[in-house]
Structure formats: C-alpha cells, structure tokens
Amino acid sequence: MTASTRLIDGFHLVVEALKANDVATMYGIVGIPITDLARVAQASGIRYIGFRQEASAGNAAAAAGFLTGRPGVCLTTSGPGFLNGLPALANATANCFPMIQISGSSNRALVDLHRGDYQDIDQLDAARPFVKEAYRIGRVEDIGRGVARAIRTAVSGRPGGVYLDIPGEVLGQAMDASAGAETVWRVVDPAPRQLPAPEAVEHALRVLAQARRPLIVLGKGAAYAQADNVIREFVETTGIPFLPMSMAKGLLPDAHPQSAAAARSLAIARADVVLLVGARLNWLLGHGDSPQWSADAKFVQVDIAPSEFDSNQPIAAPLAGDIGSVMSALRDGVAAHPLTVPTEWTDELAERAARNDAKMRERLAEDPHPMRFYNALGAIRAVLEENPDVYVVNEGANALDLARNVIGMAVPRHRLDTGTWGVMGIGMGYAIGAAVETGRPVVAIEGDSAFGFSGMEIETICRYRLPVTVVILNNGGVYRGDESPSGTDPAPTVLSARAHHELIAEAFGGKGYHVTTPVELRSALSAAIGSRTPSIIDCELDPAAGVESGHLANLNPTSAAKPGKVSAGG
C-alpha cells in the first residue's frame, strides 16, 4: 500500500451501502460499538433519530416500512440494546412490514468461547426465531453484500423483519477506499412484481360469479401494497360490499356506500363467497370458522405468500401474486365474467348498518360526567373529520376497540395500530415514525396503560419538535381503574386514576392539556393539531368506564379458583 492510498472503514461502508439504497433515515439508540455509525450517518446526510428505548426506535422503523414500502432501519447497540430492539423486529415480521435492525455486537472470538465479553450474547442465534432472516457480516468487504441482502429480503415476497449483525471489530476494519466502493451496490427492483397465473384468475372470477352474497375483505397487506386505484376500481365496478381490517381503513373511505363496516358481524356471518385481499384468516377474522362465518362460505384469497393459503380454511381459489398485479388481472377479467350483486344482499347490509349507525350516534351524543370512552371519542371523531389527512395511531384495550369503530378514515395508510399481535407499546414509536416519514400531523389515541409502555418517547417527540398530539383516554387502569384490591396494594389492574399525563409534555417543552368534557377535548385537539406543537391531552374518564380485555374477553381463560374461592393448597 502506498502512503497515498485512501482507506475506508466499516462505519463508512455501512453508510455508503445504505445511501446507495436510498435509506434516508435511521432510528436508534447509540452506544458501544455503533455510536460512530450514527455520527457518520448523520454527517453524510442520513437523518438519525435518537430514542430513549430501542423498542420504540424499532417500532418507528416498522411504521416507516409500512408507510413507504421500503425497509425502515433501526440501529441498536450490542447485548441488551439488541434485545430491547428485537420485539419490535419480531412484531414487524408478524405484521409483514419490511424492517432491518442493524446491531453492533461483541467480539466473536470471546462470545463463541463464552469467555465473558462486555454485553456478550450470540445475537444472530437469538434473533433467528423471531425474524424473516438473520445475517451476520464477518468481513469488512462483505458489508455492501450484507446490506443488499438485508434490503432484498426485507421487501421482496412477503415483507418482514431482517436482523443484520455487525460485530464491532468489523466496523473498525479498514480497506482500500476504491476497492471498498466496488463492494457496495444498489439493489435493482427490490420487490419485483409477481404476476398471478391467468388460469388462477379465470378460476377465481368463476367462483366469484357464483356468489349470492359476496364480500371483499381488505387487509393491511392491501394497504401496504399501494395499489389503491386498482383496488378501488375493482370494488366499484363489481359493486361488491367491502370490509376493511383496521389498518386497511381509508383504503376506500369508511363513508363509501359499499362499506359493510357498520354491519361487520352480519357481513361475515352471511357472506357466501369472500375475497380476501392482503388479509390473513387468523384470529382477527375468527380463523374463518363457523358460527362467526357461514359454514359453507367459499374463500378466494390474494396473497404474495402461497403458504398462507389453506392455513385455516380451504381456499377455493388461491391467487398468488402481488396485490397490484392480481387486482389488475381481476379488474381486467371481470368484463368476461360479469358479476351481479343481488340487491337483497346489499339492502340487508345497508339496513343493519343504518341501525348500528343510529345506535352509535346516540351513544356519542350522550354527555355523562365524568366522561366515558364514547363521549371522548365522539369529540375526537369530530375534529378528525375536519382533518382527514392526519395520521392516527391507536393502542389500548377499550381505547383501541372503540376508537377503531368510532373514528372513520378517509385516506389510505393513515391508521397504525396494535396489528396482528394486538401488542401494547407501539404508540410513540409508530407516531414518531409516521411524523418523521410524512411530515404530517399525527394523533395518537392511547389508553393510559398502553401509553406507559413507550411514554418516555415524549422527550424524543419534543426534542425533534414533531407534530404529534397524544390523546390519553385516562380511566386510571389496565382495562379500567375502579377495581378494589384484595390486599393492601392496589389491585393488579389499577393505575393512578388522577394522573396528569399532560405534565410530561410540559416537562420537555411541549404543550399539555387536561380535559374533562367532550367540548374541552374538541377544542384542545383542534388547537394541538393546528399548532403542530408536541402535545399531550389527558382526558379524565370515569375510572369505571371500560370492560376487561376490551372486545377480547373471550380469550381470557377463566380462573377456576377466583380470589375468595381459593381452596387449601390451591
């Protein structure tokens, strides 16, 4: 090597590889051995957003993946930092969101002989069961390849989470700069279209044409696919009623005349042919089982992952391919297989929807003191109707179940929630990801318990001056806050009923509001969205409002020995 040879180290090569693939933002927490990676990234134009807990950084990256269709990138330190980030990567994988967790790791020679290194964990093996793929880069000259492989794997086929392990010693290695530049490449067409077989399309259209009570179920895969126009064209030309899963709300507006959302149970119970578009027949859809579904319902399923078919019910017409391509083929083919949707079916749904809608309006209009969930949500709904392009993040038990029904969405990919796992703790990470990626205002509708899982990220929201408003539906407990204890400590479900969460925002320079009526809530929320100032609105609810486990009470095993009934030795 001559004295004039320029060198490049692992830190710079990782950044070059990410930039070559248009990664514009990284979410993370610095520490050994990746602090310089964040510095180099920031210095070379990648935006670095630093968090207070890695799971939130990971959740922000996952939200970025869902919203943009490109992998969100999360950066973690070795050992515990890596472990903190892993649940978010696992959750992204469960939700089919593309995401990459890049983690520094400890010295391989020490870890593999269990010699006891700083924060030593075999991170690659630890990550493997929870992710779509896990890779380790062992040499500086493999950094470009490792990043390319991670990107390709995260977005192609069924999207998911990829773990990319980079030991500290690899980041510190150097190589000739021009040779290094040749090791980095840009992934061509990272998520190639996958066309369905023409005969599969023909068959699916024939099955649909036999339907007397057809139904389309749109899932978050359909939202993710960014095939909004073709999906709308197919729905509208066929006239088939549709039902959006929670994160597909807004793909077609909830106020669309073909929406069966307000008659959900009836639509599911009575449909005879169901077209699933980017929605799995998992627990969220009762596994397709009767009596929730009609026992002789036939399913047509559009999915990029063929192994999804028959996972719960026989799929009469599987359509393997990307949603854009499959829905285009269905739209083009429908002329040759005219579908008529009997008016008895649409009338039946419309009648039930009108009845349910009237009931909902009645509940929203009540004005009890203290306020309950519906009354608070009625106020939020009114403000969001005036601001349809605000992003909505939603988590909690009652706060989730009720907001999902009450808050209509008019624009695609504007709702992010607890998703496939129904997991708590995504709130602030998703809100930050949505605000950073889109620059638009975000409203996070949070149960007070759910908020606690990521609440310290309010500091992150304030530090980056993000236009995020957190509305805390505060009934002082997990599910509700009015349970009496059996002993001297608070009951297991009870939190601080009179907490003033708004003061947390004020502690970091944001704005706090404390409201006790729907009128106050409406005015605070309009002001907070309009100002684009980081804000918390603490809504004081009746601690007796809310039901245990929200809509999922049926998933709770009942205790054979309830407190008070415990037998000796039990």
* The CA-based dihedral angle spanning residues 348, 352, 354, 355, taken in that order and rounded to the nearest 10 degrees: 140
- Which residues between 293 and 332 bind ligand ADP (CB under 6 A)? 303-305, 308, 322-323
Residues in the chain: 570
Nearer of residues 225 and 383 to ligand ADP, judged by Cβ: 225
Q: x/- contact string, 70-109, with ligand ADP (CB under 6 A)?
A: -------------------------xx-------------
What per-residue string of b and e applies to 479-515 under the rule 16 or more CB within 10 Å gives b? bbbbbeeeeeeeeebbbebebebbebbeeeebbbbbb
Nearer of residues 279 and 364 to ligand ADP, judged by Cβ: 279
What per-residue string of b and e applies to 104-116 under the rule 16 or more CB within 10 Å gives b? bbbbbeebeeeee
Give the sheet arrangement for strand 535-540, strand by strand.
Answer: 415-417, 391-395, 442-447, 468-474, 535-540, 511-515
Residue linked to tokens 């010693």: 169
Alpha carbons 474 and 470: distance in angstroms, whole number = 12
Q: Partners of 415 in the beta sheet?
A: 392
Q: By beta-carbon distance, which residue lies closest to ligand ADP?
A: 221
Q: Partners of 161 in the beta sheet?
A: 99
Interface residue with ligand ADP, options 225, 461, 505, 524 (CB under 6 A): 225
What sign does the dihedral 361-365-366-370 (CA atoms) show?
Answer: positive
- Tell me: does residue 279 bind ligand ADP (CB under 6 A): yes
- Tell me: does residue 550 bind ligand ADP (CB under 6 A): no
Alpha carbons 407 and 567: distance in angstroms, whole number = 46
Interface residue with ligand ADP, options 19, 52, 145, 158 (CB under 6 A): 158
Stretch that binds ligand ADP, among 78-86, 278-286, 517-525, 556-564 (CB under 6 A): 278-286
> What tokens does 533 get?
């100032």
Interface residue with ligand ADP, options 137, 248, 494, 524 (CB under 6 A): 248
- Tell me: does residue 278 bind ligand ADP (CB under 6 A): yes
Question: How far is C-alpha 37 from the chain's CA centre?
Answer: 27
Nearer of residues 245 and 393 to ligand ADP, judged by Cβ: 245
Q: Prior bond to 368 cis, omega within 30?
A: no
Residue linked to tokens 């042919």: 273
Closest distance to ligand ADP from the beta carbon of 497 (Å): 33
Closest distance to ligand ADP from the beta carbon of 61 (Å): 17
Closest distance to ligand ADP from the beta carbon of 241 (Å): 17
- Tell me: does residue 215 bind ligand ADP (CB under 6 A): no
Interface residue with ligand ADP, options 221, 241, 250, 429 (CB under 6 A): 221
Contacts of 239 (CB under 8 A, 6+ apart): 258, 339, 341, 346
Closest distance to ligand ADP from the beta carbon of 156 (Å): 10
Alpha carbons 538 and 510: distance in angstroms, whole number = 13
Stretch that binds ligand ADP, among 261-269, 280-288, 407-415, 537-545 (CB under 6 A): 280-288
Contacts of 566 (CB under 8 A, 6+ apart): none
Stretch that binds ligand ADP, among 113-121, 170-178, 215-223, 504-512 (CB under 6 A): 215-223
Stretch that binds ligand ADP, among 58-66, 98-106, 196-204, 220-228 (CB under 6 A): 220-228
- Which residues between 368 and 407 bind ligand ADP (CB under 6 A)? none
Interface residue with ligand ADP, options 108, 132, 213, 220 (CB under 6 A): 220
Closest distance to ligand ADP from the beta carbon of 285 (Å): 7
Interface residue with ligand ADP, options 280, 352, 413, 522 (CB under 6 A): 280
Alpha carbons 16 and 14: distance in angstroms, whole number = 5
Nearer of residues 65 and 104 to ligand ADP, judged by Cβ: 65
What is the size of the binding site for ligand ADP (CB under 6 A)? 24
Alpha carbons 387 and 414: distance in angstroms, whole number = 12
Stretch that binds ligand ADP, among 178-186, 240-248, 501-509, 545-553 (CB under 6 A): 240-248
Closest distance to ligand ADP from the beta carbon of 304 (Å): 4
Interface residue with ligand ADP, options 245, 260, 297, 300 (CB under 6 A): 245
Closest distance to ligand ADP from the beta carbon of 208 (Å): 18
What type of residue sits at position 148? A
Q: How far does the chain reach from its first CA to its final CA, in angstroms?
A: 75
Closest distance to ligand ADP from the beta carbon of 442 (Å): 20
| Helix, strand, or coil (residue 64) | helix
Closest distance to ligand ADP from the beta carbon of 443 (Å): 21
Q: Which residues are at the interface with ligand ADP (CB under 6 A)?
A: 95-96, 158-159, 219-221, 224-225, 245, 247-248, 278-280, 282, 284, 303-305, 308, 322-323, 420
